[in-house]
Amino acid sequence: METLTEMCGARAFLVTEAHALSTYSIPDNAPKVQSQSMGVEFAMRSGTNSINYQDHIGLQTDFAPEIKATADVEALLVEGSEHVHMLYTFRSVGRAVPMVNDQNAENKRQLNLETFQVLIPQIAKIRRLMDFQEKGVAIIEKCMRSLVTKEARERIVPDGYYDAITKVVDLLQKLDNLKDMKASLATDFSRYNRVLQALRAELPNGDQLAQEKHKLQLFLSNFQYPKSLIFHNLRDALKKIPGHEDVLIEMLQQNVDFIENERYLMLDEKYRLIRSLPHLMLLIDGDVDESTYKVINVFKDKRIKLTSLQAIFKAYPVVPECGDMSMTMLIILQRSPHWDTSMEKAWGGEPDRKVVARYSLPTHWSDIKSQHAEYLSRFSKMSTELTTYKFQKKLAAAKYATFVSKLVVDGFKLLRSWTCTVLEAYHWKLTHPCSVETIAKLDALSNNPYEFAVKYNHSPRELGVLVDIISMIKSLSTILMQAEADVAPYLRLYVHHEVQQFVSGELLPPLHRAHKRKRAIIDPLLKLRRLVADWPDKTEPADDYVRYSRQDGRVEAAHKARVVGPSPTQLQFMRTMVRSMYDQRNQLSAVCSPKRI
């Protein structure tokens, strides 16, 4: 028990130390590098599709098989992210376990048993990883076999389906690189192998573990594919499917289109699309010594727009992979069977000054400061308006909701752009460490490669710019989070109004034209608006498109004001159905202009 004097003395010390904090002065313009903390977070619904499109049964569309397959792929991604985190944080246990020697030879059996028990969880992680990569390859193979059939080639594939497959390809290559990088996996397995040999006769399932050990050994150190085993397994599986190149080329074209038109909002989406390009090209490219009559050369196929691909490779020679892991685009592409060293310059092998400057933080500093100041001015004005005028759930507020929504999206885009700038500069430094001469000028002694890439690779000016940009990112993200309660109703009102205006207003002219000319496109158009329409009296008008006239011009949709948007399944179906009307493979697209739709 503490004495009263000791307790009083401890409290007096704490009071004195706490009082000392009041002497510190923090200037108002100090950089903010800590993100906003939230004690309790409440969401109307999950940011992900928690029900996995199970509600597609009640929507009755022609794209249910693709949506169900998309749900299966997305469920696989959730499990895969756990394996990524496991590999990235994996540390060897075998090094910490004492080895059997002459001094502890008497306790050899007991030491082996205890070592075996310690290593079992580590081996279980490796086993689950091996089973998952087999599952990942199998599900992509299954998707590809369903997409190469004659019936599937005549149908429209949802872009979300291709995007989900791209996510799995990116996930598998990420797991592949992490597995190759982690020498601790082989270290623990090697120790487990020796212990298992000693205890095999004593264990009740010793023979089963020995068979499993052989399979794990081929997974960790395969003699045929010492590196990138998972990706080679995927490539070998796809090469057995005739026509898989056509599907992969469509995926490649879609990803290039998404990158060029910035059809992404989060930075993970951007880098996933970029990382997928060399890997998709590697999957498309055929073997040079292949005996089949048709060998695809990814660098000469006329269906592939090489100019667009080369522009992306030149602009992004280095992209973030996972944590402090970087990926050099050209290194992946050089594994293609039809690669030639003469192509290196055309694919960004020698970055010019503009590319190097784009990876430098001081190059963007002035623009980021001006963007930050200009956006905060606009957002503070809107925040004042939101505080002054309370939200009212009326259609009259739809116009202002459009303004609020676009301003919030602009803020997200700025955060993405600034964060990408920081990440790209950081990973450029990781792949371009400073020279020994630079270390000598700093009078520093180091042989650590990580210090060459990080500690001594930033000038004082670059560090100051880095802190300033991070402070602007954190300050803007905090402001947006604090305004969530005020802007959320306007965002939901905007989404609902835009969907209703599209299906109840913008679709009337094409519906009228299709009805007047008795085109087959009218049935898909009616299905589209029935999918998400919110009729005022809960009854679909039977002849509104019949009574429509060109003289009416643009029709303003009449609907109830609601602060709720479509479900992920409805949104996915709507995007797919709209795309199907102007896709070249759909015969109905010939009778309806995409501009009208």
CB 318 within 8 A of CB 431: yes
Beta-carbon contacts of 192 under 8 Å, excluding residues fewer than 6 positions away, are 94, 116, 119, 122, 123, 213
Residue 49 has pLDDT above 90, yes or no: no
What pLDDT, in 10s, does the model give residues 369-386?
999 999 999 999 999 999
Mean pLDDT of 282-303: 80
Residue 458 has pLDDT above 60, yes or no: yes
Mean pLDDT of 476-499: 93
Question: From residue 245, how far is each of 249, 335, 587 by CA, in Å?
Answer: 6, 17, 23
Q: 221 φ, ψ to 5°?
A: -140, 80
Cα–Cα distance measured from residue 311 to residue 105, given in angstroms and rounded to the nearest whole number: 64
Cα–Cα distance measured from residue 511 to residue 524, given in angstroms and rounded to the nearest whole number: 10
Q: What is the pLDDT of residue 438?
A: 79
What pLDDT, in 10s, does the model give residues 564-580?
888 888 888 888 888 77
CB 559 within 8 A of CB 543: no
Q: How many residues does the chain have?
A: 597
Identify the weakest region by mean pLDDT among 119-123, 186-190, 397-401, 452-456: 452-456
Give 184 or 101, the one with higher predicted confidence: 184
CB 400 within 8 A of CB 490: yes
What pLDDT, in 10s, does the model give residues 390-420?
888 888 899 999 999 999 999 999 999 999 9
87: its two tokens? 């590999």
Cα–Cα distance measured from residue 384 to residue 339, given in angstroms and rounded to the nearest whole number: 58
Residue 547 has pLDDT above 90, yes or no: no
Cβ count near 119 (within 10 Å): 20
What pLDDT, in 10s, does the model give residues 214-272?
999 999 988 888 899 999 999 999 999 999 999 999 999 999 999 999 999 899 999 99
Tell which residue, 382, 333, 29, has the closest CA to residue 341: 333
User: Which ranges of 334-397 would DSSP assign to H, the alpha helix?
Assistant: 353-358, 361-388
Q: What is the pLDDT of residue 41?
A: 46
Helix (H) or strand (E) run with residue 79 in it: helix 64-88
Question: From residue 84, how far is each of 89, 175, 323, 337, 426 by CA, in Å?
Answer: 9, 6, 11, 28, 21
Residue 428 has pLDDT above 90, yes or no: yes
Q: What is the pLDDT of residue 326?
A: 94
What pLDDT, in 10s, does the model give residues 119-159?
999 999 999 999 999 999 999 999 999 999 988 887 778 88
On average, the pLDDT of the chain sits at 85
Percent of the residues in the chain that have a pLDDT greater than 70, as a whole number: 85
Residue 1 has pLDDT above 50, yes or no: no
Mean pLDDT of 264-282: 94
What pLDDT, in 10s, does the model give residues 495-546?
999 999 998 888 888 888 888 888 878 888 888 888 888 888 888 887 888 8
Helix (H) or strand (E) run with residue 451 in it: none
Q: 327 φ, ψ to 5°?
A: -125, 125
309: its two tokens? 């691909």
Q: Give the confidence band of 109 by pLDDT, cuts at 50, 70, 90.
A: confident
- What structural domains and CATH numbers belong to the chain? 59-241 (1.20.58), 248-350 (no CATH), 358-482 (no CATH), 489-591 (no CATH)
- Cα 471 to chain centroid, rounded: 24
Check the CA dihedral 79-81-82-84 and report its sign.
Answer: positive
CB 208 within 8 A of CB 145: no
Cα–Cα distance measured from residue 315 to residue 356, given in angstroms and rounded to the nearest whole number: 9
Q: Give the confidence band of 560 by pLDDT, cuts at 50, 70, 90.
A: confident
Phi-psi region of 459 (alpha: psi -120 to 50; beta: other; left: phi over 0): beta
Mean pLDDT of 286-300: 75
Q: What is the pLDDT of residue 514?
A: 86
What pLDDT, in 10s, does the model give residues 91-103?
999 888 888 776 5
